[in-house]
Chains A and B, each alone.
Chain A
Amino acid sequence: MFGYIRPLKPELLVREYESYRAVYCSVCKVLGKRYGIFWRLALSYDSTFYAMLLFSLHGVCPGLEQKHCVANPLKKCVFCKSGLPQLQQAAALSVLLTVSKLQDDRMDHGKGKVLASFLIPLVGRSYRKAASDYPWMEVEVRRCVEQQVKAESQSDADLDTCAAPSAEMLARILEHESSGGSPISQTRVLRESGYYLGRWVYLMDAADDMERDTKSGDFNWFVKHFGLTQQSTDEEWSTAREQANGSLNLTMSRLCAAFNLLDLQSYSTILHNVIEKGLPDRQKQLLFKKEKK
């Protein structure tokens, strides 16, 4: 994923921020232990959110403990005492999505391509490891990549078609958490929440990359739809940004409605902070506040 799913820090209580940090650091530690030290670089806010959501849905509330930070041995960090299965699941998703992002980069132009072609042979083993631990998850990620290529190669693809693979992937990944004793209504809510969260991430990523993609010429629905080029005027840019923000808001309205119905058992205020405040703040920062290059 892309690091868009993060909390709005000023609105968190200090203790909430501390438990958020603890999950963040624990995902990092698990990544390092299971996949090797370099995988710590793949740590993202998104996987932290996923780990917290898993804790919350399964009613796990791991205690905290102080330990040395591995990235910086002089610093002490707070870690989760338990909850390893959920942390490992979040780490695996992180690995699978990072590798699929690299594969996507390799097909694009620009700087990322060189780096991606260099890294892909090195990450194959970790990918297979994650895939054998969580085969169902790998199926979803792979399907998303395949569908994405197919959707973007259509000449007249609309925005919904382009966003569908990511939305569908997250819908299925969240839906997976309901298997077992939970009521059918919870399955529907999980699916709906995942769908709109995935859709929001796709739209946000595309909107965020508008400038870059006009230069590199990679596929970007907004660039194509609004006919943006490097010569576009400021007015054209701001129209495109406002339209993109409108699509994001439309998606947010459905996401908030679904998320409010989720049966969250722990970390509820932090998770609601991410959805209700963190995501809108990303829209604000990336579409209206970013340094215009």
Chain B
Amino acid sequence: MSDPYQVLGVSPSASDEEVKTAYRNLAKKYHPDNYADSPLADLASEKMKEINEAYDSIMRMRKARAQGNPNSYGGPFQNSQGGYGYANPQPNSSSGFTDVRSFIINGRISDAEQILDGVPAENRNAEWYFLKGTVLYRRGQLEQASAYLGRACQIDPSNMEYRAALNQISTQRGGYYGGYNPTAYNSQSGLNQACGCCNDLICADACCECFGGNLIPCVGCR
């Protein structure tokens, strides 16, 4: 295995805290959520495994070196497909499209699409729209994908699988996984205003003190 310190991009002299931060940042970067239904998901999970192993081995080495420091080991992130993210379509026994699902899971997108396109219009149910949307998303036809997933949710609003897929897309649209979010900027400027308000008060206090008054009395002055 390659040098675990190199994998995490920290120097061997880095503190435990620094190693942990580097590990956290990398784990966030390659988290399965970022690669939900991406054709590169397998590469990301390999990378995640590498990072987990590197972190584990560094922590093991350090623990062995300095016994009696129980707080240094935080344990790795769970690299599971569960949680709130949108995972790949799972094998589903009640599905009318088991073959399509298995093609998608194995990355055979054209085969999946061929079967889907062969389905006559009257048999196209919610699941059909969901799978077609998934295929388009893989391909990079993101706008069409959202339209199809939206249609799937419209036909079957109670289905959590379809709902999760559509939610994932709207989070991505919101700029959560990269890009620009105008509302986040506004809330930040709100914060700045709050800071500015404090600054103004402090300035006013300083001015008053110059003239012998006191706007913000503090313990030290009394």
Q: In this assembly, does B174 line the interface, its C-beta being within 8 Å of a C-beta of chain A?
A: yes
Q: In this assembly, does B59 line the interface, its C-beta being within 8 Å of a C-beta of chain A?
A: no
Bound together, the chains give a CA A260 to CA B44 distance in angstroms of: 9
Q: A247 to B35, Cβ gap below 8 A? A: no
Q: In this assembly, does A253 line the interface, its C-beta being within 8 Å of a C-beta of chain B?
A: yes
Size band of the B side of the interface? 20 to 34
Q: A253 to B140, Cβ gap below 8 A? A: no
Q: In this assembly, does B85 line the interface, its C-beta being within 8 Å of a C-beta of chain A?
A: no
Q: In this assembly, does B47 line the interface, its C-beta being within 8 Å of a C-beta of chain A?
A: yes
Q: In this assembly, does A160 line the interface, its C-beta being within 8 Å of a C-beta of chain B?
A: yes
Name the segment of B70-78, B157-165, B179-187 touching the other chain. B179-187
Identify which of B140, B143, B146, B178 contacts A280 (C-beta below 8 A): B178
Q: A256 to B47, Cβ gap below 8 A? A: no
Q: Which residues of B contact A252 (CB under 8 A)?
A: 175, 177-179
Q: Contacts A249-B172, A250-B169; is A258 near B40 (CB within 8 Å)?
A: yes
Shortest CB-to-CB span from A262 to chain B, Å, is: 10
Q: B173 to A250, Cβ gap below 8 A? A: yes
Q: A249 to B178, Cβ gap below 8 A? A: yes
Identify which of A167, A257, A283 contacts B140 (C-beta below 8 A): A167
Q: Which residues of A contact B167 (CB under 8 A)?
A: none
Total residues of chain A contacting the partner, CB 8 A? 37
Residues 182-207 (chain B) with a chain A CB within 8 angstroms: 182, 185
Q: In this assembly, does A255 line the interface, its C-beta being within 8 Å of a C-beta of chain B?
A: yes
Q: Contacts A160-B144, A192-B39; is A249 near B180 (CB within 8 Å)?
A: yes
Q: In this assembly, does A140 line the interface, its C-beta being within 8 Å of a C-beta of chain B?
A: no
Q: Which residues of A contact B180 (CB under 8 A)?
A: 245, 248-249, 280-281, 283-284, 287-288
Bound together, the chains give a CA A250 to CA B143 distance in angstroms of: 9
Q: B144 to A185, Cβ gap below 8 A? A: no
Q: A160 to B173, Cβ gap below 8 A? A: no
Q: Which residues of A contact B176 (CB under 8 A)?
A: 253
| Count of inter-chain pairs, beta carbons less than 8 A | 105
Interface membership of chain A positions 266-293, coded 1 if the CB is closer than 8 angstroms to chain B and 0 otherwise: 0000000000100111011001100000
Q: In this assembly, does B108 line the interface, its C-beta being within 8 Å of a C-beta of chain A?
A: no
Q: B39 to A248, Cβ gap below 8 A? A: no
Q: A284 to B185, Cβ gap below 8 A? A: yes
Shortest CB-to-CB span from B139 to chain A, Å, is: 9
Q: Which residues of B contact A167 (CB under 8 A)?
A: 140
Interface membership of chain B positions 116-156, coded 1 if the CB is closer than 8 angstroms to chain A and 0 otherwise: 00000000000000000000100011111010000000000
Q: List 29 A-B contacts (CB under 8 A).
A: A158-B144, A160-B136, A192-B39, A245-B175, A246-B173, A249-B180, A250-B146, A250-B169, A252-B179, A253-B34, A253-B172, A253-B176, A253-B177, A254-B38, A254-B140, A254-B172, A256-B177, A257-B35, A257-B38, A257-B44, A257-B178, A258-B38, A260-B34, A261-B40, A261-B43, A279-B179, A283-B179, A284-B180, A287-B180
Binding site for A on B (CB under 8 A): 29-30, 34-35, 38-40, 43-44, 47, 136, 140-144, 146, 169, 172-182, 185
